[in-house]
Structure 1
Amino acid sequence: MTAAKEYIEAVYQKVEKRGPHQKEFLQAVREFFNTIEPAIEKNPEYKKWNILEQMAEPERIITFKVPWMDQAGHIHVNKGYRVQFNSANGPYKGGLRFHPTVSESILKFLGFEQTFKNSLTGLPIGGGKGGSDFNPKGKSDADIMRFCQSFMTELYRHIGPQLDVPAGDIGVGGREIGYLYGQYKRLVSPETGVLTGKPVVMNGSLGRTEATGYGLIYYTEEMLQSNGKSFKGQKVVVSGSGNVAIYTIKKVHEYGGTVIACSDSSGYIYDENGIDSDMLQDIKEVRRERLTEYNKEGSRYIEGSVWDLAVPYDIALPCATQNEIDGTKAKQLLENGVYCVSEGANMPSNIEAIDLYIENNILYGPAKAANAGGVATSTLEMAQNASHGHWTLEQVDEQLKQIMINIFKSVDETCQEYNLGNNYLAGVNITSFVKIADAMLHQGIV
């Protein structure tokens, strides 16, 4: 075992000892640590300054209660969080998630991943994440407004345009961001740049809704082209049916591919002639109904995971949630003939699945890089707010596309520098690690 590997393993053992039950966070740390040995070997200063252990511990975790009253007069109490993970490259930046599964472990994993994702964009932002175990599903607009107001009544103390700029995530869209910002304005002098993902009428950015899905395709197309391929003529499966999935599907079709399946939490639509993205968008974003309402001729709804689908296709784009693809499902992808997996969700593949991708030379776009389009466009929104300007959709989209192309190019250059071949996972992790580590070295003990 090399000295670098011994150091990495020793740091992991310390991280595990501090939070032995935080399985999602430990999974993210282990996956990252498994790939960065070459960077530690090449840069002994990282070990000398114990950069890895500094990087693996959040700078701050804020927890608070969120009491609120529903429209029937009943009092509820939820738990709120903000994990401010790393500010070496700039103010904390990352979404708020409202979902019953939210926990400290989930948010630490998301904040850890967000830190590296944000560094890849080349924009001056650090990493953070937050949210609550509140479930907005089935709640009235009035209930959601009251919850958001209570949540922000505590959160406002810990955020600001130069400190921490939250955005949306699962369960937090334009409606929720609007309510959160409205309460922030009541408590503090208005700062339009304190939240991103705002509705356009509230100085939000055009293109933010589409950004993660479009960015995923811009990154993946660049990766495909560098390997002599493209989306044109390819069959694609996308998990999820929310914002990310909808705009992923639209852009795949624009690039000449055919999405034959997409999913929700209960099952999936299979349509060998191609998913109708307009119908899907109407069902999920306008009518807010289940995927079972999709009724295009020739399609069928099947209960279970879309990754159990056993038909030939070429590209898999997981856009739903963490750990949706395990080793068994990854084997099914290989049997189907999939040669490319690119991630629109955060950590949708577990370590066993990732190992299979690497062993079988799958073109793999890790979430840290492939789904960076959302945070990239959020940062463009910050720039517009700071300049009191407003860009056209075409301006935002062109900048987003260039950012995603540049991310892949930087990863590809790292793969060449470290002789990694097409191991883009290692390339992504080393590229982002080195950038943050160098910033931390310049700042001393942070």
Structure 2
Amino acid sequence: MSYVDEVINKITKENPGEPEFHQTLNEVYKSIEVAVEENEEQYRKDAVLERLANPERQIKFRVPWVDDEGQVQVNTGYRVQFNSAIGPYKGGLRFHPSVNIGIIKFLGFEQIFKNSLTGLPIGGGKGGSNFDPKGKSDREVMSFCQSFMNELYRHIGQDQDVPAGDIGVGAREVGYLYGQYKRLTKQYEGVLTGKGLTFGGSLARTEATGYGLLYFTNEMLKANNETLKDKTATVSGSGNVAIYAIEKAQQLGAKVVTASDSTGWVYDPKGIDVALLKEIKEVQRGRMSDYAAKRESAEYHEGRGVWQIKSDVALPCATQNELTLDDAKLIVENDTLAVSEGANMPTTLDATKYLQDNGILFGPAKAANAGGVAVSALEMSQNSERLYWTFDEVDNMLKDIMTNIFSKLNTTAQKYEQDKNYVLGANVAGFERVVEAMQSQGIV
């Protein structure tokens, strides 16, 4: 049995009941096997793969808070600090009922390689809670966030661990979390990113993940003699990533014809009206059915179905494992050129393999959606230097970072004679940088 298979089996047995973590472990480790084999004896001796797959620290804590009826509620909080070889832990906080330790570990493990690919000095971590902010009043959200930070503040700091937002954690939640951190520590520092512009936030942070996804996708297409101009795109989701992916796709000349949420999806053959989508989702906190009710050209459908619409480029931007093997078969039947992941691991392993086997250009999340964490790192730099960069300055740096990420993974794939295998390229490029740093620092 190979060293990679030994470690996958060992870690899977040691961490039962964590299917998402097992999935990403298999995806990453099987794709880097070609690189591991070149140094297998040394890596085995140093237990490199075991050390990578075991978090440096994982924290679980109780979060009691009081709702508007005066009832005490109790949720569970998590922070997994996975790897700090190249910098302080960096990764978002997710507030969603589905959150458990396995999901946080999957996200944190992915974050190691994503952050490495940016070329910036940030390690991998992730956190969150099974708290659901949907349907909660601002006071209830504040109560929860303050209680959550009452424990989390002990484990974070601008040179130790810098959380950000993720699903369920937007500007409102980050503001409440930061206010409580400052209250507890008496420190005004860049310990959270995604902050409001009046207290240390960065311009272009809101747009960063969606914009970065399209900069990456355009580079991938250009490397294959195509561009986004005059292409049709399908997008899933209608949150922050999806909205700004749609916006940037349209700026680059594509027409985006779908968007979705947890209840249904819309097909708009005239192209998604971004201004209306922002109004529905960011202001009114409404549903996609509300979009369709106000947009004559839009068709609303309940449930899932985005990927049945014919398009040149598919951009899954909702949540993990949303694009299944059946969806991949539809995408291949529709002669789609490329799939690029805006969400974290939105494509199942069998769907990813099917897409690659059928010649679809596939941009993996750890590369394609790295724009958010990249601009978070730029926000950290601005906070440390007490600087404030313009939107265009940040956007230009983001574009350069995403261009460099694609160049790096493309070159790596070619180095291992796996041209166009961008999954392998991303995983190996991220792995090689982290491992070099780990080995330089000794057995820690």
Instruction: Please tell me the residue identity of whatever aligns with 2:297.
Output: G
How do 1:45-444 and structure 2 match up within 5 A?
A: 45-294=42-291, 295-309=294-308, 311-444=309-442
Secondary structure, in 3 states, of the residue corresponding to 1:444?
Answer: coil
- Secondary structure of the 2:74 match is strand
Q: Secondary structure of the equivalent of 2:205?
A: coil
Q: SS where residue 192 of structure 1 aligns? A: coil
Q: Which secondary structure does the structure 2 equivalent of 1:194 belong to? A: coil
Q: Identify which of 20, 37, 40 aligns with 1:41.
A: 37
Decide whether the 8 Å contact of 1:307 with 1:325 is kept in 2: no
Question: 1:273-319 deviations in whole A, cap 9, x for unaligned?
Answer: 1111111111100111111111212211011213452x421110000
Structure 2: give runs of 5+ residues left out of the alignment. Answer: none
The whole-number CA distance in structure 2 between the counterparts of 1:308 and 1:435 is 35
Instruction: Tell me the amino acid that sits aligned with residue 229 of structure 1.
Output: E
Which residue is equivalent to 1:30?
26
Distance in 1 of aligned mates of 2:102 and 2:327 = 24
When the two structures are superposed, what TM-score results if normalisation uses the length of structure 1? 0.98
CA displacement, residues 95-128 of structure 1 (integer Å, 9 cap, x when unaligned): 0000000000000000000111000000000000
Matched positions, count: 441
What is the Cα deviation at residue 246 of structure 1? Answer: 0.5
| Residue 13 (structure 2) pairs with residue 14 (structure 1) | no
Which digits, 9 at most, give the CA deviation of each residue in 1:7-66, with x for residues without a partner?
A: 100001111111121000000101111111111122243233121111011111100000
Q: Secondary structure at the match of 1:316?
A: strand
- Indicate conservation of the 8 Å contact 2:260/2:306, yes or no: no
Asked whether the equivalents of residues 95 and 129 of structure 1 are also in contact (C-alpha less than 8 Å), the reply is yes
Contact kept, 8 Å, 1:40 with 1:47, in 2: the verdict is: no
Cα distance between partner residues in 1 of 2:188 and 2:120: 20
Q: Is the 8 A contact 1:307 1:332 kept in 2?
A: no
Once the two structures are superposed, residues 81-103 of structure 1 have per-residue CA deviations (whole angstroms, 9 ceiling, x without a partner) of 00001101110000000000000
RMSD: 0.9
Report the CA distance between 1:344 and its aligned residue. Answer: 0.4
SS at match of 2:257: strand
CA-to-partner distance for each residue in 1:217-268, whole Å, 9 max, x for gaps?
0011011001100111111000000111010001111111100111111111
**What amino acid sits opposite 1:304 in the alignment?**
G
Question: Identity, % of aligned pairs?
Answer: 56
2:31 counterpart letter in structure 1: T
- Using the TM superposition, name which of 366-375 and 290-299 deviates more: 290-299
User: 5+ residue gaps in structure 1?
Assistant: none
C-alpha distance in 2 between matches for 1:191 and 1:116: 29
- Aligned to 2:162, what secondary structure does the other structure show? strand
What is the letter of the counterpart of residue 305 of structure 2? V
Q: Which amino acid aligns with 1:135?
A: D
Distance 2:172 2:50 in 1: 38
* TM-score of the superposed pair, with normalisation by structure 2: 0.98
**Cα deviation 1:335-355 (Å, max 9, x = unaligned):** 111120000000000110011
Q: Which amino acid aligns with 1:296?
A: R
Q: Which amino acid aligns with 1:41?
A: E
Deviates more, 1:34-43 or 1:108-117: 34-43
d(CA) in 2 for partners of 1:301, 1:312: 16
Distance 2:140 2:295 in 1: 35
How many angstroms apart in 2 are the aligned matches of 1:208 and 1:316?
23
State the distance in 2 between where 1:313 and 1:380 align.
Answer: 34
CA distance in 2, matches of 1:184, 1:71: 23
- 2:234–2:307 Cα contact (<8 Å) kept: no
**Kept after mapping to 2: 8 A contact 1:341/1:364:** yes
CA distance in 1, matches of 2:228, 2:306: 20
